[in-house]
Structure 1
Amino acid sequence: MAPRPHTAPDIAERPEAQDTRPSRRGAGLVPGLIVALLALAAAVVASLGIGARPIPPIEVVGALLGQGTQSVVGIVGELRANRTVLGLVCGAALGASGALMQTVTRNPIADPGILGVNAGAALGVVAGATITGGLGLAATVWFALVGAGVASAIILLLSASALAASSPVRLTLAGVALAAVLSGLSQAFVVLDEAVLQAYSFWQVGSLTARSIDEVTGVVPIVVVGAVIALLLLRGLDALALGDDSAISLGVRPGRVRVWSLVSVALLAGTATALAGPISFVGLVVPHLVRGMVGASLIRVVPMSMVVAPALLLAADVIGRVIGGGSETPAGVVMAFIGAPLLIAYLATGRKVGSA
């Protein structure tokens, strides 16, 4: 008897030919979301109650309502509430932008600074400090956003050019080169002015202490716009993760998706960096942790990253208050100590680190 030719059902039954992506996308979604929300709630409570002076949860609630002693109301309602709101906004922005960056560049160790967004924001801070003669908090945010926007515009032009349009690797290398140039310009300004050096040194360590709620809420619409753009791109980015040819066959325009992704990253990472400084590892580590919880689909990774990232950033800020011994350790420093071991442990387990 002649051998029966392979038919579509035969091929589908072969394990290596099956597309396991849909099952992985839904793996652990509900449990992961519950854990992430509980972790975020715990981080918020800790951020409001733990510090040089521990405050019980009941007094924290009263202080938020304007009740209690004047000192407790001042500590919780002003200082710690400011830091908590800033941590929530910056964490969500960094988590989402990190997931987008890793997908657009197809680089599993990419973070929001790899395309020069952070370096552009830093140059904006230096320019603002030079013009204002110091660290004018309200003005510096907008200078940093302008710097991040200029850097993003350069990357957008490069992404549309023949040099990098067809190669995420070339786009990544172009971003690294741009970041080096912008960082060099920032250092040149810094060494010429002591006042600028002091302002820049305070900003560059990454901290949640510098901004008031009014300053944060003033730029929240920018973060919202960036987040909405990111959410609207998720299906296109999922298709793009399969490769440009596959994405085109599914009706997705890779160039357009990349351009809008970079716009979203500029808005999200640029705002977060302008507010809190260049905090590393949040946008790098969190997307990998989330993929281990809910699978590789960006439809789940990006929203979950916007929950997990602020929890991790607030936890780093709380740890910095506790270990400071009277003087606080900036969240950016603590995040480096947390993020580096997490990433090393993730790699050491032999798990496949990928962007999709």
Structure 2
Amino acid sequence: MPESTTLRPPENPADAQRPAAVQRPVPRKLKAAIRNAPPRMVAGILLAVAAAVVCFFLFFDLKGNVGYILPRRAIKLAAMLLVAVAVGVSTLLFQTVTANRILTPSIMGFDSLYILVQTVLAFTLGAAAVVAAPPTLQFGVEVLLMVAFSALLYRWMFTGATRSLHLLLLVGVVLGSLFRGLSSLLQRLMEPSEFIILQDLFFASFNNVDPALLGFSAVIVAAVCAVVWRARHTLDVLALGRDVAINVGVDHRKVVMRVLLGCSLLVAVSTALVGPVTFFGLLVVSLGYQLCRGFSHAWLLPIVVLIGAAALVGGQLLLEQVFGFSTALSVVIEFAGGILFLYLLLKGSLK
């Protein structure tokens, strides 16, 4: 007689009553729920998270001289929120006009120009003189140079015979490489002690933000964001492509010039205030697109800002309370953003 086989009961009897295809539907259902969530729900959840992180940052472990600690925390928090707004909005606008979700305003060489300006000043005047210079003067010079550079570049590209956005991006990449090369050459010629002082200026820092500069920067960012918000419906049309925008009556060249100049002003103010944060915009905008696919700019703009605020303040909170300032937040941003940039490049090349 054939040997009888013994049937083992399933480890979980409930699994035997469900088809194999629906035993583990949670990840797919969760992903689909996130993608199909209405914009009000996404914005509301992000607003609650950002508000909770902000309150936790301000009032957690608040003891001792509260009158001294709380204002300093408020200034640092305001700087992080300002950078989140400026970098997030500028990256979203830049990706809208370039129709590319990998590019950021930093590709135009703004960060490289900032480093070159700091290096030239330290090489000619001395790093100690740069650090001791009035913050208002430094801020004004850096913003003026970066905005003037972008304005001349855009005017040259869009008033010539080519008027090519792709050529503009290519020239920006080449100029960024040129700026980095010049900075590296001057840094090699500097004294080691001067270079050590200069190196601290190359990383974003929220600890020593001047309150006067913070208020001036907030006015500029608020003015640019107000103009952007009024043009949110035009941005929706630009996202459909140049031909569609022209067919519906949008002056594509004029609008793109204004958007790029707004991006330049936002990035210049953010970089001059705290330093370069190259990949932060790519991180928050990529996450914003994942959370709200198909949404208009009326929802994308606040969602990206809320993601940036929660990520930046939450990251700083983790570094202070968990890791004890063992590293700078900008280093973590650059590391995570670099990995995301490579992932997006590989993902695009495999399609």
Which residue in 2 is equivalent to 1:173?
A: 170
Which residue in 2 is equivalent to 1:307?
A: 306
Query: Does residue 1:245 correspond to 2:243, yes or no?
Result: yes
Taking only the aligned residue pairs, the percentage that are identical comes to 26
CA contact (8 A) 1:101 1:265 kept: yes
Residues in 2 aligned to 1:164 and 1:85: alpha-carbon distance in whole angstroms: 42
Which amino acid in structure 1 is aligned with residue 313 of structure 2? Answer: L
Which amino acid in structure 2 is aligned with residue 260 of structure 1? Answer: R
Instruction: Please give the root-mean-square deviation of Cα atoms over the aligned residues, in Å.
Output: 2.9
Which residue in 2 is equivalent to 1:295?
A: 293
SS of 1:329's equivalent in the other structure is coil
Unaligned runs of 5+ in 1: 1-24, 60-68
Alpha-carbon distance change, 150 to 192 in structure 1, aligned in 2, over 3 angstroms: farther
Deviations 1:85-131 (A, max 9, x none): 10000111000001011112222111220112222233333345454
Query: Does residue 1:43 correspond to 2:53, yes or no?
Result: yes
CA contact (8 A) 1:320 1:334 kept: no
Residues in 2 aligned to 1:47 and 1:217: alpha-carbon distance in whole angstroms: 21
Which amino acid in structure 2 is aligned with residue 292 of structure 1? Answer: Q
**Relative to structure 2, which stretch is displaced further, 267-276 or 327-336?**
327-336
Alpha-carbon distance change, 191 to 161 in structure 1, aligned in 2, over 3 angstroms: farther
Deviation at 1:286, TM superposition (A): 1.3
Pick the aligned partner of 1:75 from 46, 69, 90: 69
Deviations 1:217-261 (A, max 9, x none): 122222122222322332222212222121111110111111101
> 1:112-261 alignment to 2 at 5 Å?
112-129=105-122, 130-131=124-125, 133-135=129-131, 136=133, 137-162=135-160, 165=163, 167-194=164-191, 197-261=195-259
CA contact (8 A) 1:28 1:293 kept: no
**Relative to structure 2, which stretch is displaced further, 204-213 or 252-261?**
204-213
CA contact (8 A) 1:97 1:265 kept: yes
Matched residue count: 309
CA contact (8 A) 1:128 1:139 kept: no
Q: TM-score, normalised by structure 1?
A: 0.77
Deviations 1:26-47 (A, max 9, x none): 9621011111211211221233
Alpha-carbon distance change, 89 to 284 in structure 1, aligned in 2, over 3 angstroms: same
CA contact (8 A) 1:103 1:241 kept: yes
Residues in 1 aligned to 2:55 and 2:343: alpha-carbon distance in whole angstroms: 28
Q: Between Structure 1 and Structure 2, whose CA radius of gyration is higher? A: 2
Alpha-carbon distance change, 182 to 74 in structure 1, aligned in 2, over 3 angstroms: same
Deviation at 1:342, TM superposition (A): 5.7
Q: TM-score, normalised by structure 2?
A: 0.78
SS of 2:104's equivalent in the other structure is coil
Alpha-carbon distance change, 259 to 152 in structure 1, aligned in 2, over 3 angstroms: same
SS of 2:119's equivalent in the other structure is helix
Unaligned runs of 5+ in 2: 1-34
Query: Does residue 1:262 correspond to 2:247, yes or no?
Result: no
Alpha-carbon distance change, 126 to 310 in structure 1, aligned in 2, over 3 angstroms: farther
CA contact (8 A) 2:102 2:344 kept: no
Deviations 1:146-205 (A, max 9, x none): 22113212331243144652x432222111112112223333443444465334311212
